[in-house]
Amino acid sequence: GLDSKFSDHIKVFHAGTSIIDNKVVTAGGRVLCVTALGETVVD
């Protein structure tokens, strides 16, 4: 997944992307999934 600047418990997965100049950019499509883990929904 992409590195998250928010927490070690958050993962961002992506598809339809490329890396150009060390940045993730769209490659014609945008598919994004953000997953977070915690003991409760509030976490």
pLDDT in tens, 1-43: 566 666 777 888 888 888 889 888 888 877 788 888 889 888 7
**pLDDT the model gives residue 2:** 62
**pLDDT the model gives residue 5:** 66
The b-or-e profile of 18-28 (16+ CB within 10 A means b, else e) is eeeeeeeeeee
Structural domain harbouring 4: 1-43
* Total of domains in the chain: 1
Q: Report yes or no on whether pTM surpasses 0.75.
A: no
Instruction: Say which residues have a Cβ less than 8 Å from residue 19's Cβ, sequence separation at least 6.
Output: 25
